Amino acid sequence: MSGAEPSTFELASRPVQAYRIAQWATLAALVWKIGAFTSMYQCYVRIPLDQEFFPAAFESPAVLLITYVVCVICFGTAALTANSRRRILASTGSLFTLSILCIHQGSHNDMTFATAWWTSLWSVWVASRIPLDTSESLIRKAAFVSRCVVSMILLGGAVGKWTTEYWSGQALYEIYFVDRDFWIFNLLRDNLDAESLRTFATFYSRKVIVVESVCGFGLWLLPARWAAGVAIFVLTSIALFSNFYLFSVLLSLIGLAASGFFVIRRAV
């Protein structure tokens, strides 16, 4: 044996703990979004959306606001409840409201709701299996699915950067390095001349492409705990070294990835 055996209560609680962390993390992501969401909502109140292809409900600022608020309430309920049925209902409500936010014309292009949607889909499945599966089996399956989701999203981000503009660094140079008011870019502009700054932009951009590509293709193949650690490190670094607002996109994935830490080490 390696170390003490976990208690029956500890074994039984692991899927629930992993589930709750994902709910709290996604709730934090939505709360992190409040400032930007409020500005977005006020903009649509002043300048109403008008797209004939979509039903009026999917252009309405009121629907956008109500759906967002209900979504936040659902995640809070899911995080706090100890009742299995309420857990399933709350996660289903989260998935339903996020589906609306991913379609509504005021929020469809916001990755915060897209990443939260995948976490919510995982949550509905986990919540529905907690009363049925053994805890050890469920947490292993849940961790595997979570790292597959994170791999898929990182690979999607990498694929979007497989272009000449990104590989040369020109795209990120113009987006971030020229005048973006953020600690790392301010520091670089203060300490590098124009040529060196442009060279560093190329290095930075290629590093992003390589890391996202490697994680996209290989993260899901790692052991659960290794995958959780690598995923959380990479996702956190993305926001810390580019834009703190990206935590609204990444926190739900960080909570999702954390499920890998609950996988029980096999005795040897």
DSSP helix/strand/coil, 254: helix
Other CB atoms within a 10 A radius of the CB of residue 79 amount to: 19
What pLDDT was estimated at residue 195?
Answer: 95
Buried b / exposed e across 3-34, counting CB within 10 Å, b at 16+?
eeeeeeeeeeebbbebbbbbbbbbbbbbebbe
Domain ranges of the chain: 8-262
Q: Residue 6 pLDDT > 70, yes or no?
A: no
Global confidence as pTM: 0.92
Q: Residue 109 pLDDT > 50, yes or no?
A: yes
**Nearest CA to 233 among 154, 172, 117, 116?**
154
State the Cα–Cα distance between residues 142 and 127, nearest whole angstrom.
10
Q: For the chain, what percent of residues have pLDDT higher than 90? A: 89
Handedness of CA 203, 204, 205, 207 (dihedral sign): positive
What pLDDT was estimated at residue 267?
Answer: 42
What pLDDT was estimated at residue 29?
Answer: 98
State the Cα–Cα distance between residues 217 and 214, nearest whole angstrom.
5
**Tokens found for residue 250:** 């990444």
Binning pLDDT at 50, 70 and 90, where does residue 84 land?
very high
**What pLDDT digit, counting tens, does each position of 193-208 carry?**
999 999 999 999 999 9
Pick the more confident residue, 128 or 56: 128
Long-range contacts of 3-8 (CB under 8 A, 24+ apart): 3/265, 5/267, 6/264
Per the listing, tokens 């709730």 go with 27
What pLDDT was estimated at residue 54?
Answer: 80
Binning pLDDT at 50, 70 and 90, where does residue 12 land?
low
* 238, containing H or E segment: helix 224-240
Binning pLDDT at 50, 70 and 90, where does residue 5 land?
very low
